[in-house]
Structure 1
Amino acid sequence: MSSMTILGGHAAPLGATFDGEGVNFAVFSEHARRITLCLFSPDGRTETHRIDLPERDGDVWHGYVPGLRPGQMYGLRADGPYAPHEGHRFNYNKLLLDPYAKRLTRHPEWHDALMGYRVGHADVDLSFDRRDSARYMPRCVVEDVLFAWGRDKPPRRPTSQTVIYEAHVKGMTQLHPDVQHKGKFLGLASDAILDHLVKLGITAIELLPVQAFLNDRFLVEKGLVNYWGYQTLGFFAPDPRYLAHDQIAEFQHMVARLHSAGIEVIMDVVYNHSCEGNELGPTLSFRGLDNRSYYRLAEDPRYYINDTGTGNTLNIDHPMVLRMVLDSLRYWVEEMHVDGFRFDLCTTLGRTPTGFDRGASFFDAIRQDPVLTRVKLIAEPWDIGPGGYRVGGFPPPFLEWNDKFRDGIRRFWRGDAGHVAVLADRITGSALQFDHSGRPATTSVNFVTAHDGFTLMDVVSYTQKHNEANGEGNRDGHNDNASDNMGVEGPTEDPKILAARTKRRRNLLATVLFSQGTPMLLAGDEIGNTQWGNNNAYCQDNEIGWLDWSDYDEDFLDFVRRLIAFRREHPILRQKRFLHARERIVDGLEDLFWWRADGRPMRDEDWGAPDLKTLCVEMRIASGTPVYAQREEALFLIFNRGHDVEVKLPECAEGRRWRLWIDTGRPEIDGKVITLPTVFAGCETTLMLELEAYND
């Protein structure tokens, strides 16, 4: 290897930074004895230089190499003790990824040389493997992140106006006939996809993980891959499988295109663990750079605390690990222009030595950050650790996925007894969970389907999961899905069953979009996409996991568009203030009225009636809402899971009348004036009526 000049450089920023004349490298490691920079030939095959970083400021090792340019491939090696019982797993033979790398060339190629220990040795992970792992590792790439954003402007929609659409980059685009760059960021930015999203009416697309991630070895050996992406390999790099031309500008282009259509981009991010697994996992980055600092270790530091179910848990309590997470979040906001984040297993990020703490350093750091406080923050409020289920327990400004909404709504429409009161709680924002600490009613992210579980079509087509294709004997995935096959398991040609399934789907989505909170739809539900009963398609990078655009019900798609448009046009459905009966004094009217079908107010004893199948609710603008937002008088909703019923409507003042806009049993109705004091609610239907003023 020829010699190369390296200067002292700077300890900040971390990672590889091009300044126009050369590249500064800065890497954190508290326990290493030295950090070596490895440079590679333009094709990445030959390691041309090994240069020890010459300076150390605190625990940051750094050096500056004049003359290096963007496109330079590199990696790291860390020298230090290999002492698993002390929590140290340094192995200088292993090429490591820079945690701050902005681009990776590919994914690791599975080989035993990736392990820091000798596979099959009697001492297992206490042994030491001396093979060089470089040939099996991707290369980091020096990047200049500048992009010609032009007039790009984040939409910054208020949460009260937000409708989230959860989607997978490849799943959304792979089978679309009018998309050129299938499975890529550029495909998601295509005219065909933007046209679909704009016409649908959603305001934000929430992408399953797009940060670089690992294909788990056990999946590769079964001929499968990590399709969803919840095994992060690099927190700053877009996954190379979504790049058509190996340019990070492709991600930036996608964001700019979505912004031009008025659509925000939310990233699903996984900062609770890394892809390196437990003590038997590979040495790819964090483990080799400073295992004891990056991970939460057990009482015997040979082992890892596993609150995530993946083998390890990142040590967010460590200031430099927390800094990496925050630097990564700011990078995606400032350089890549994303509009928010959904935090996978977010309870883990709030764990301290004494348990979950809504005042943990992670939450406090985000809440004072001037960059991160201006974007949307969504928590998945659980993990598998002790006391890990924390729905309603996160601090503002976090929104939270509300699985209580999903389960309660599915069970109501399935016909489970005693769920009318549950429905009432859910459609009014799950106030018991979220109406505290000044949190708005939009805190609850309401959904009936998400990537993890059945699609909407499968919720009404399967009673049991069918995950055989995952190769785990159908043991994986949730068993309790609150689903209903409506009489036949899976596909059928029976017109009565098909009609019942379609109406059930209309009811489920109407409930999501007519409820207080922030609605979220799963991509493909609007076109009847199925995964053939697989409720855990994390490894199905094939027709099971991809959206089928070839044959769908245009009438159902139009109905979903109408639901979204109705929500957009009616502020009563998307208020920030919680609605509460018997608490409004402003104009002598309450916010919320619960009615029986006979037109009488609901009594306490009515809620527990075993045969209660119908819920009628009148909603108004919440007390204290500014006058400018009060553009409508009242909405009246009927959720009828029982037999056909005539519902007596609340009396109207002179010059007022009820108009029926939505009826899931008669989807052709769109603005019918109700002249009688009653309205017909068919079996298993949702009705939406608006009180309007009129002049004869």
Structure 2
Amino acid sequence: MNQYKMEPGKAYPLGATVTDSAVNFSIFSANAEKIELCIFDEQGYQELERIALPQCEHNIWHGSLKGAKAGLVYGYRVYGPYSPEYGHRFNHHKLLLDPYAKVLTGKFSWNERHFAYNVHDPKQDLSFDARDNADIMLKAVVTDPSAPVMPRNPIPWQNTVIYEGHVKGLTELNPKVPAQLRGSFLGLSHPEMIAHYRAIGITTIELLPVQQFISEAFLTDKKLTNYWGYNTLSFFVPHQDYLNQNQISDFQRMVDELHQAGFEVIIDVVYNHTCEGNRLGPTLSFRGIDNSSYYRLNPSEPRYYINDTGCGNTINISHPRVMQMVMDSLRYWVQVMGVDGFRFDLATILGREVQGFDKSNGFLDAILQDPILNSVKLIAEPWDIGPGGYQLGGFPSPWSEWNDRYRDTMRRYWRGDKGLLPEFARRIHGSSDIFEHSGRQPFASINFLTSHDGNTLYDLVSYQERHNEANGENNRDGHSDNFARNYGVEGETTDAVILAVRLRQIKNMLATLMLSQGVPMLLAGDEIGRSQKGNNNAYCQDNELNWLSWDENALYAHELKLFTASLTALRKKLPMLSHDRFIHKEDKKSTVDITWFHPSGFEMQKDQWHSHHGATLGYLLEEKMPNTPMLLCIFHAGEEIIEFQLPEITNINHWQVMVDTSTDTEHEEVRNIPAERIITIMPFSTIVLLSDSV
């Protein structure tokens, strides 16, 4: 070890930075008394030396290790008071990960030695554990600066169709992807997967968490895993289990290949909590580096954490150094790893100050002024379980938001709930009642019917109750009401009548999604009829329950794939379905007009909007230019056959049937309907008509 010499270094940049003849180490801690750099052999098994960082300025501890180079394996030991009752949990017997690590080595496994306290002591976290955990702890690896990926070519929001999927689940069972690539980053960008993305017409792939995460101990004890990944350990590191060769280049190659094919990549990020959990959790990184800075603690009892996340702790993003880490991480994923945007889990937490949510808070303002981050796609999950935690519509431009009002309204309408026509129309319209007041555009609304969290579309029409027994919580976890309907049989059936209704309802919801203003998001697998067997909280199921089945002969698979493709093609063909401003009747600034029709063929009247039993609505879009086609969408959620009088419109001779959810997509022939005639609408069906122009 005498080839290394520690000298004063530089406070910035934070992390481990390779220079000409040394590696500069820099780490933040406001309350530490001493920090040691721990050097290990190449395999990370043996600790070779501990060297104190020689300088601390502005709470940044740093040193330059002469003779060190890329490939060095390291961790930290941080000295300070172990006083949980005052918010401090330093324990130098625990090896800690650098929050700015870019590459890790080793595999994490649960052990009592990862806890700073004696797990058997009745005093719980007030006790102290002096056992060392270095031999079983993940370590960081110094890496050379990574070359950035190819420049991005952003897709405009109004042209965006999001496909939410899981890195492993998308390819693990796909026989067309080579076995060695299945379940990995590189499997996602394999030509066979790209062919599927193209076939169904999506533009943007949104991946569940890809930053390094671990499974909670209680799941491991039950032989389950945190499959979704909302349990982050390292905010700069791609998750090890999705790799083939290299922790950085595998991800970069995936992004490059998807970019070259014309697709965007958005990643789901979890900057609201970490895997260290509550006061009884392990000490792996942030807790041992500076607990009272990195986490929000109860002001009156700092031993306890504020738990606005429901996951045990809440990251203290109000602290400038913690915010700096988050901002540095986001920029790294854009500039080095190449992603096109982010979906922020429990994003309300990121906008919460002491007095509550503030759309002009420090973090949201920092994003707004950042020249890198304010130009990528930013999507908020606008709720958490903290006080004032539901903030749909509360984020500033240029943010978009997951719109759960859209999800619930569409599910209820197609289930057959009554009195929903006004709400149904507002959601189709782009939810202007939620977003327009602050000058935002329709793409502020991310419209979705299903997501990773909840039922698949197939299960929404097959299971009325949750079936989460496999999760090991006696079926108590997950939402108890999903606005679902099984149409006569709970789960699988061979009844042809029930199967036909279920297929039609899936198609109705897909059609509504693609015919609504705003940005549609499709859950991966809904386009081929994927089921989770009624499990609406499958976060811990790393198995066939979550992995997509690519059996082309499976029930609904071929038909739904064709139908999804037809809808995305229609949306692409008709820009008025994704207008860049909210469409209002007689809006002189808009190039598109909108009219709502009653089955009588006349415009909707006030009493018809508020008819409790109303279940049918026509939606006409037209461009304000001569000789351009009009689009008429007719939605019927009733259980009876009805007659719909097509409206009298000058200069239209015929309507062409573009979508009819009561027919077979593959064998459907082009049909033209004379103008001004009455058409028959089948129960639970959608018909979309495109006019000719004269």
TM-score, normalised to structure 1's length?
Answer: 0.96
Shift of 1:342: 0.1
**Is it true that 1:635 corresponds to 2:631 in the alignment?**
yes
Aligned to 1:168: 166
Aligned to 2:40: 40
Residues 147 and 249 of structure 1 are in contact (CA less than 8 Å); yes or no, is this contact kept in structure 2? no
Aligned to 2:609: 607
**Quick one: distance in 2 between partners of 1:489 and 1:320?**
52
Shift of 1:123: 1.5
**Quick one: distance in 1 between partners of 2:198 and 2:369?**
34
Matching residue's letter, 1:584: D
**Quick one: distance in 1 between partners of 2:438 and 2:630?**
28
**Is it true that 1:570 corresponds to 2:568 in the alignment?**
no
**Quick one: distance in 1 between partners of 2:216 and 2:374?**
34
Shift of 1:38: 0.9
1:465-491 superposed Cα distances (whole Å, 9 cap, x missing partner): 100000010000001100111111111
Shift of 1:645: 2.2
1:178 to 176, 179, 192: 176
**Is it true that 1:584 corresponds to 2:617 in the alignment?**
no
Shift of 1:510: 0.5
Shift of 1:256: 0.4
**Is it true that 1:70 corresponds to 2:70 in the alignment?**
yes
Which 5+ residue runs of structure 2 have no aligned equivalent?
none
* Higher mean displacement: 353-362 or 611-620: 611-620
**Is it true that 1:534 corresponds to 2:535 in the alignment?**
yes
1:74 match: secondary structure: strand
**Is it true that 1:556 corresponds to 2:560 in the alignment?**
yes
Residues 428 and 516 of structure 2 are in contact (CA less than 8 Å); yes or no, is this contact kept in structure 1? yes
Matching residue's letter, 2:108: P
Matching residue's letter, 1:183: G
Shift of 1:108: 2.5
Aligned to 2:657: 660
1:19-67 superposed Cα distances (whole Å, 9 cap, x missing partner): 3433111100011011111111011101112111111121111111233
Shift of 1:610: 2.1
Structure 1 residues 264 and 689, CA, compared in 2 at 3 Å: closer, same or farther?
same
1:272-299 superposed Cα distances (whole Å, 9 cap, x missing partner): 1111011100000000000000000002
Residues 15 and 99 of structure 2 are in contact (CA less than 8 Å); yes or no, is this contact kept in structure 1? yes
**Quick one: distance in 2 between partners of 1:169 and 1:670?**
38
1:233 match: secondary structure: coil
Aligned to 2:426: 425
Aligned to 1:512: 513
1:212-256 superposed Cα distances (whole Å, 9 cap, x missing partner): 001100000000111000010000001111111243100000000
**Is it true that 1:681 corresponds to 2:677 in the alignment?**
no
1:649 to 646, 649, 654: 646
* Higher mean displacement: 486-495 or 547-556: 547-556
**Is it true that 1:60 corresponds to 2:68 in the alignment?**
no
Shift of 1:691: 2.6
**Quick one: distance in 2 between partners of 1:232 and 1:365?**
22
Note the 1:117-516 alignment, pairs <5 A.
117-147=117-147, 149=149, 152-180=150-178, 181-298=181-298, 299-516=300-517
Matching residue's letter, 2:649: C
* Higher mean displacement: 294-303 or 101-110: 101-110
* Higher mean displacement: 669-678 or 216-225: 669-678
1:139-158 superposed Cα distances (whole Å, 9 cap, x missing partner): 11112242474xx3323000
Shift of 1:326: 0.3
Structure 1 residues 218 and 308, CA, compared in 2 at 3 Å: closer, same or farther?
same
**Quick one: distance in 2 between partners of 1:654 and 1:43?**
77
Shift of 1:71: 2.1
Residues 592 and 623 of structure 2 are in contact (CA less than 8 Å); yes or no, is this contact kept in structure 1? no
**Quick one: distance in 1 between partners of 2:37 and 2:503?**
59
Residues 107 and 214 of structure 1 are in contact (CA less than 8 Å); yes or no, is this contact kept in structure 2? no
Shift of 1:86: 1.1
**Quick one: distance in 2 between partners of 1:184 and 1:263?**
18
**Quick one: distance in 2 between partners of 1:691 and 1:19?**
66
* Higher mean displacement: 676-685 or 122-131: 676-685
Structure 1 residues 249 and 586, CA, compared in 2 at 3 Å: closer, same or farther?
closer
Q: Percent identity?
A: 51
Note the 1:17-32 alignment, pairs <5 A.
17-32=17-32
Shift of 1:644: 2.0
**Quick one: distance in 2 between partners of 1:42 and 1:590?**
64
Shift of 1:611: 2.0
**Quick one: distance in 2 between partners of 1:160 and 1:269?**
23
Structure 1 residues 621 and 362, CA, compared in 2 at 3 Å: closer, same or farther?
farther
**Quick one: distance in 2 between partners of 1:671 and 1:51?**
76
1:538 match: secondary structure: coil
Shift of 1:107: 4.2
**Quick one: distance in 1 between partners of 2:350 and 2:669?**
46
Structure 1 residues 631 and 374, CA, compared in 2 at 3 Å: closer, same or farther?
farther
**Quick one: distance in 2 between partners of 1:655 and 1:303?**
69
Shift of 1:584: 2.4
**Quick one: distance in 1 between partners of 2:484 and 2:403?**
18
Matching residue's letter, 2:633: L
TM-score, normalised to structure 2's length?
Answer: 0.96
Residues 570 and 632 of structure 1 are in contact (CA less than 8 Å); yes or no, is this contact kept in structure 2? no
Residues 654 and 675 of structure 2 are in contact (CA less than 8 Å); yes or no, is this contact kept in structure 1? no
**Quick one: distance in 1 between partners of 2:39 and 2:580?**
53
2:235 match: secondary structure: strand
1:477-521 superposed Cα distances (whole Å, 9 cap, x missing partner): 001100111111111111111111111110010000100000000
**Quick one: distance in 2 between partners of 1:340 and 1:495?**
43
Residues 240 and 246 of structure 1 are in contact (CA less than 8 Å); yes or no, is this contact kept in structure 2? no
**Quick one: distance in 2 between partners of 1:476 and 1:59?**
43
1:532-560 superposed Cα distances (whole Å, 9 cap, x missing partner): 11111100001111111124321221111
Residues 660 and 669 of structure 1 are in contact (CA less than 8 Å); yes or no, is this contact kept in structure 2? no
Residues 266 and 342 of structure 2 are in contact (CA less than 8 Å); yes or no, is this contact kept in structure 1? yes
**Quick one: distance in 2 between partners of 1:518 and 1:228?**
23
Matching residue's letter, 2:614: L
Residues 161 and 574 of structure 1 are in contact (CA less than 8 Å); yes or no, is this contact kept in structure 2? yes
Shift of 1:178: 1.6
**Quick one: distance in 1 between partners of 2:650 and 2:145?**
62
1:373-419 superposed Cα distances (whole Å, 9 cap, x missing partner): 11000000000011111111111111000011111101111101112
1:609-645 superposed Cα distances (whole Å, 9 cap, x missing partner): 12211011112348xxxx8xx9944311100112222
Aligned residue pair count: 684
Residues 107 and 215 of structure 1 are in contact (CA less than 8 Å); yes or no, is this contact kept in structure 2? no
Residues 628 and 693 of structure 2 are in contact (CA less than 8 Å); yes or no, is this contact kept in structure 1? no
Aligned to 1:105: 105
Cα-Cα RMSD: 1.7
